Structure 1
């Protein structure tokens, strides 16, 4: 799983073949296929692990007490900006995977869509906790802003040196 995670994040899912995964992880072919009958099974496991880690981290932040709702939104904003300071940033594994797996019924895409919906939901819950007048609509806009920032920083080198992302993000969060 560690080898798959490194390769999927650094090069992409479709461009990494099973033979390379087996060779670089130093596992026997039979062992690989015993755990993951298909490459898609490995991709699902990879995404489920990534999603579980994110859910655990954001839930812990939310449950930290007063300020937890705002801290969740801050963590999501920070995640959107993480690539702005990294050379060679390839973007979010869920956004990238959604681009590689377009069929909404495909098991891999189902995991992607379920995780992205969960992130929107925790943002809406946080906005609701803050007394926001339109938590669901604003969560959708924030999620779109986040997605755009990640894609722009990975494809176009967006760096936001003027702080426009933060002004837009917190302006939406703090509207009354």
Structure 2
């Protein structure tokens, strides 16, 4: 990489970092491109060279956030190959811990979706893609526990609903109480589907 390439990468990263902080704390619509440009100390020409539109910057921010979450869940999925119980517990603990983190202001994806009602908007498409990925990850973890595919899919959707609840509750209510409730509710969902699957197997037998 030559020095000019390093400068380009550094400026793009600075813009993305500044935007990420502002987008998360204040929302997309409240933060203008001009404000980000001023914070970084660059020019409009430089900004639009890296991000031809504010939409592209918003998408880059969400995609980075998604990559971070997927890296954590990816580690969980690897663990689940050897120990499904530990893998699922780690996934629940990781989601609960995120809602207790300093400066937490709710799920970045739910926040983003609340600002853009159009399901075809680029922001909503990133949100949908990531939520689909999370649901499939839950389904894989539940499948590793031995749940039949249909039960795993249903339970994954239910865990996503609980996940959404803890991201809101962790911001608005007592994070510690919310995370304890989340863990209990997740255990109840998984236990109920395990019992149902076991009873179905007994009937078939």
Residues 1:83 and 1:3: Cα distance change in structure 2 (over 3 Å): same
Change (3 A) 1:121 1:84: closer
> Secondary structure at the residue paired with 1:13?
coil
Verify the 8 A CA contact 1:84 1:160 in the aligned structure 2. no
1:17, distance to aligned residue in structure 2 (A)? 1.0
Kindly indicate whether the alpha-carbon contact (under 8 Å) linking 1:58 and 1:72 is maintained by their aligned counterparts in 2: no
Query: Deviations 1:88-138 (Å, cap 9, x if unpaired)?
Result: 531010110011111111011000011011000110111011112410001
Give runs of aligned pairs for residues 91-170 of structure 1, distance below 5 A.
91-133=106-148, 134-157=151-174, 159-160=176-177, 163-170=180-187
TM-score normalized by the length of structure 2: 0.76
Q: Aligned equivalents of 1:163 and 1:17: distance in 2?
A: 38
2 CA distance for matches of 1:72 and 1:100?
A: 34
- Residues 10, 120 of structure 1: alpha-carbon distance in 2 compared, 3 angstrom cutoff: same
Q: What do residues 21-76 of structure 1 show as CA deviations (whole Å, max 9, x unaligned)?
A: 11112222111111111111100111111112222221233123412x44453344
Structure 2 contact 166–179 (Cα < 8 Å) conserved: no
More helix by share: 2
Q: Which has the higher contact order (CA 8 A, sep 6+)?
A: 1
Q: What's the Cα RMSD here?
A: 2.2
Give the stretch that moved more between structures: 32-41 or 87-96: 87-96
Aligned-partner Cα distance in 1 for 2:183–2:189: 10
Secondary structure of residue in 2 paired with 1:135: helix
Structure 2 unaligned blocks of 5 or more: 1-15, 195-205
Unaligned regions of 5+ residues in structure 1, if any?
Answer: none
May I ask how many residue pairs the two structures share in their alignment? 175
Distance 1:84 1:118, change over 3 A: closer
Structure with greater Cα Rg: 2
Query: In the alignment, does 2:47 pair up with 1:29?
Result: no
Q: TM-score, normalised by structure 1?
A: 0.88
Q: Deviations over 1:8-31 (max 9, x none)?
A: 122222211111111112222111
